[in-house]
A and B are shown apart, each in its own frame.
Chain A
Amino acid sequence: MADTFTFELVSPEKLLLSAEVNSVVLPGSEGEMTVMANHAPTMSTVKPGVVTVEGADGSSKYVVFGGFADIVPTGCTLLAESAVAVDALEADELDNRIKAANEAADAAVGDADKTRLAAFAAQLEDLKAAI
């Protein structure tokens, strides 16, 4: 039996999940990473994607839209801009977000902003393909 650690998924509006889990797969901005107990202290930004939580009683999946993760050996906190369980995600919500992101990218002034927003839109597209 693998060690467990505390995983907390927090969105600005509420604490979505707080549980003892075996492992968590995070869509880190530098690539996917799996967090297990006794992970080295890490702080990472998270891009839009799917978080897979492996608990003692099966796994669950959540969709997060950006945020960042604070990982210490005894626990992991994921502060997500907004997060929903995959099952609860409405079909057109993603499309709406992609549309909004694209519009924002088009409206942005300055190259840095434009690239950033376009990248965000692309990440959302990837996410849609993944589900």
Chain B
Amino acid sequence: MPSLKDLKNRIASVKATQKITKAMQMVAAAKLRRAQEAAEAARPYSERMASVMANISGAVSGDDAPRLMAGTGKDDVHLLVVCTAERGLCGGFNTQIARFARLHAKELQSQGKEVKILCVGKKGYDQLKREFESAIIDRVDLREVKNIGFANAEDIANRISTLFNAGEFDVCTLFFSEFKSVISQVPTAQQLIPAKIEASEEDAQGSDAAYDYEPDANEILEDIIPRNIKVQILRALLENVAGEMGAKMSAMDNATRNAGEMIDKLTMSYNRQRQAQITKELIEIISGAEAL
């Protein structure tokens, strides 16, 4: 049985923890709003990019499409780009992505394909290195980056294209967490190379018009595809930040609530014990008086 003093100390320490989690929750809420705005602001570009891609890919026949779109024609070596957060304390956010990527990698390995992993973010690396130490070829650290911008996405995209041009892999898939709402982030896999074009998103306004291409469709496509990859990565990074903040917010909310419950419980047993002590002292005095 802990003494009164012990209980008092525990209550004080849990209260301090509660203050910290509360503050973290509020910080996450503020950051979430900013991250959501950034993701929102980036949307027009990627939407238009998608419609242009859909548009132009119709104009280029399959044979002379650029390599980034057509791929190498094989699918022996897979590169998984796993984007996670840099920091923990955000519930199952990082674990979810890592688990999803791990399942994917296992499946590919069981099919006899070679798997290479590029980790973006520290937490994913920490979780994946246990199993796939040898498969991890590179990692990108975004720890020092305050606001994720196009330059970060560009850097990652350049690494990927360098690897691709060196023939290091055939298929590249991007793993990130899609931001659905504050409480729900869905781990998602998206194929980057060869580029997948969703024909369903074809823009009605342009699809029937005969386009003039300057210089020509092929060259434009060659210019667009690397950009498209950058944009996809940027989108993944931004969604990830929003998701991380959302997950952190709800995790910290839970932690604050749990700390509150704990304080209530501890206070209750503190009061009980105090009462018991008073009763004990009274009994001692009374029985002492009776003995006289």
Contacts and interface: CB of A to CB of B under 8 A. Distances in A.
Interface in A72-87: 72, 74, 77, 79, 81-82
A74 B230 CA distance: 28
A68 interface: yes
Contacts of B153: 12
Contacts of A72: 205-206, 209
Nearest to B151: A82
Given A42-B212, A43-B52, A11 B45 contact: yes
A8 B51 CA distance: 15
B224 interface: yes
Contacts, number: 83
A68 B150 contact: no
Contacts of A30: 214-215
B212 A41 contact: yes
A contact face: mostly helix, strand, loop, or mixed: strand
Interface in A37-61: 40-45
Interface residues of A, number: 25
B223 A68 contact: yes
A131 interface: no
Contacts of A14: 41-42, 44
B92 interface: no
B212 A12 contact: no
Interface string B145-172: 0000110010000000000000000000
A8 B52 CA distance: 14
Interface string B248-285: 00000000000000000000000000000000000000
B143 to A, nearest CB: 21
A13 B147 CA distance: 11
Contact of B219 (A11, A45, A70): A45
A12 B230 contact: yes
Given A41-B206, A43-B56, A13 B42 contact: yes
Given A13-B38, A70-B52, A81-B227, A42 B213 contact: yes
Given A68-B220, A72-B206, A72-B209, A12 B214 contact: no
A77 to B, nearest CB: 5
B35 to A, nearest CB: 13
Interface string B37-60: 010011011101100100110000
B231 interface: yes
Given A43-B213, A44-B213, A12 B150 contact: yes
Contacts of B38: 13
The residue among A14, A43, A70, A74 with the most chain B CB atoms within 10 A of its own CB is: A43
B245 interface: no
Contacts of A67: 227
B149 A45 contact: no
B81 interface: no
B222 to A, nearest CB: 9
A110 to B, nearest CB: 9
The 6 closest A-B pairs by CB, nearest first: A44-B214, A14-B41, A41-B209, A42-B212, A12-B150, A15-B44
18 contacts: A8-B48, A10-B45, A12-B46, A13-B42, A14-B44, A15-B41, A28-B214, A30-B214, A41-B212, A42-B211, A42-B212, A43-B220, A44-B220, A45-B215, A45-B219, A68-B52, A68-B227, A70-B55
Given A10-B44, A70-B55, 16 more contacts: A10-B48, A13-B41, A13-B45, A13-B150, A14-B42, A14-B44, A41-B210, A42-B213, A43-B55, A45-B214, A45-B219, A45-B223, A68-B52, A68-B223, A68-B227, A81-B227
